[in-house]
């Protein structure tokens, strides 16, 4: 794999992917870019890296765009601040703005999946002067409301603990994951992929019984079709090197985010927008009300696509379909 460089000028001819590091206020961000043309930032979710966009980079480049996939703060080769509060939403927004400027651009489209979708939405919300369009995969936009997130999550699940609450205490989830990173990742990916997830009616891995682990309800001995052994090895190697704390710290800032974003309570995203979700993704079922509210929350929505037979890992489970939708939408913006 090519080594990152520390230059603010494009180090490649646009035909192949290039790795680089750029300075941001909180440290440095590692990114992979391919292509020339209008800038498109791609933000991954948990627990992933820039590699979740490996199918989109060449497709967007071939369509005439400068596609840039980040290792979000706390992941991969990007900086990993020690303080939990360093992973608040406003810090991620500042990273994304700094990346655009480091790449010599004034504006960009931002596209995210999972937590990356929420980061993308808030990046567009807070900096509409820089981010002129937003694409959301997996997790729909839901404007801030008056309920503190941890209070809301505490009311979910009855006697069982919702996974976001389970992730709150530093060190707790790490103690479950890090003794067998590859096994935990394999189970998590399989449990949320349409071709390997447990049948309807099975206990959800998103709810943790008292004294148990999240992984106790993972699908075992199954590997999704989209996830090769080599790809799983590469992801496991990366997280074995970095640990999971950076990614988990995103969950540990939900209340800080709620406080920081108070001035934007109920605010819609007015830029041109796109949503792509999976039919069998829990995010699209839990947040069905948010999808129904798109006419008010996303007045610039071009289209909302719910992919039949697709799970959570949308752009990896259905790369060709996602590439077709994304490139068509991006071309409509130019």
Per-residue pLDDT of the chain (334 residues; tens, 9 = 90+): 333 344 333 444 567 999 999 999 989 999 999 999 999 999 999 999 999 999 999 999 999 999 999 999 999 999 999 999 999 999 999 999 999 999 999 999 999 999 999 999 999 999 999 999 999 999 999 999 999 999 999 888 788 999 999 999 999 999 999 999 999 999 999 999 999 999 987 889 999 999 999 999 999 999 999 999 999 999 999 999 999 999 999 999 999 999 999 999 999 999 999 999 999 999 999 999 999 999 999 999 999 999 999 999 999 999 999 999 999 999 999 8
Query: CA nearest 68: which of 34, 91, 36?
Result: 34
Does a cis peptide bond (omega within 30 degrees of 0) precede residue 168?
no
Query: Can you give the pLDDT at residue 203?
Result: 86
CA 59 – CA 322 distance, rounded (Å): 10
- Please state whether the predicted TM-score (pTM) of the whole model is above 0.75: yes
Query: CA nearest 43: which of 152, 129, 120?
Result: 120
- The pair of structure tokens assigned to 189 is 């990916």
Rg (CA), the chain: 19
Query: Can you give the pLDDT at residue 14?
Result: 67
Helical H segments across the chain, by residue range: 56-62, 89-102, 115-126, 149-154, 163-166, 172-177, 181-191, 229-242, 245-251, 254-260, 282-286, 288-292, 294-297, 314-317, 319-333
Q: Is-contact 45 116, C-beta < 8 A? A: yes
- The pair of structure tokens assigned to 99 is 């990346």
Helix, strand, coil percentages (3-state) for the chain, rounded to 5, are 40, 15, 40
**b or e along 172-185 (b: 16 or more beta carbons within 10 Å of the residue's beta carbon)?**
ebeebbeeebeebb
CA 114 – CA 314 distance, rounded (Å): 9
Query: Can you give the pLDDT at residue 328?
Result: 98
Question: What residues does each domain of the chain span?
Answer: 18-333
Give CATH superfamily name and number for 18-333.
Answer: Alpha/Beta hydrolase fold, catalytic domain (3.40.50.1820)
CA 81 – CA 59 distance, rounded (Å): 33
Query: CA nearest 115: which of 183, 49, 214, 182?
Result: 49
3-state secondary structure of 169: coil
CA 205 – CA 44 distance, rounded (Å): 21
Dihedral, CA atoms, 41, 47, 51, 57, nearest 10 degrees? -30
Question: Which residues are catalytically annotated?
Answer: 114, 312
Query: CA nearest 128: which of 101, 143, 107?
Result: 107
């Amino acid at each position: 794999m090519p080594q990152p460089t520390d230059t603010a000028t494009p180090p490649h001819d646009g035909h192949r992917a290039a790795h680089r590091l750029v300075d941001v206020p909180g440290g440095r961000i590692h990114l992979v870019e391919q292509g020339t043309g209008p800038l498109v930032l791609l933000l991954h979710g948990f627990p992933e890296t820039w590699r979740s966009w490996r199918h989109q980079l060449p497709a967007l480049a071939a369509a005439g765009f400068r596609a840039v996939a980040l290792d979000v703060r706390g992941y991969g080769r990007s900086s990993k601040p020690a303080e939990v509060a360093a992973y608040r939403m406003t810090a991620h927004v500042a990273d994304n703005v700094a990346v655009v400027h480091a790449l010599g651009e004034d504006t960009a489209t931002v596209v995210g999946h999972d937590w990356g979708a929420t980061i993308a939405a808030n990046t567009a919300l807070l900096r509409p002067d820089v981010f002129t369009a937003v694409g959301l995969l997996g997790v729909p936009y839901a404007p801030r409301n008056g309920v503190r997130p941890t209070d809301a999550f505490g009311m979910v699940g009855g006697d069982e603990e919702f996974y976001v609450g389970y992730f709150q205490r530093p060190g707790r989830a790490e103690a479950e994951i890090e003794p067998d990173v590859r096994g935990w990742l394999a189970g998590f990916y399989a449990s949320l992929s349409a071709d390997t997830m447990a049948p309807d009616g099975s206990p959800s891995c998103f709810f943790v019984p008292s004294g148990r682990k999240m992984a106790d309800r993972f699908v075992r001995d199954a590997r999704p079709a989209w996830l090769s052994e080599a790809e799983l090895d590469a992801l496991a190697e990366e997280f074995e090197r970095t640990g999971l704390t950076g990614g988990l710290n995103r969950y540990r800032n939900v209340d800080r985010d709620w406080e920081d974003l108070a001035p934007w309570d109920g605010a819609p995203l007015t830029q041109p927008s796109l949503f792509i979700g999976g039919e069998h993704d829990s995010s699209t079922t839990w947040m069905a009300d948010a999808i129904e509210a798109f006419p008010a929350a996303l007045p610039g929505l071009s289209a909302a696509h719910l992919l039949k037979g697709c799970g959570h890992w949308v752009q990896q489970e259905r790369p060709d379909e996602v590439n077709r939708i994304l490139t068509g939408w991006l071309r409509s913006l130019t």
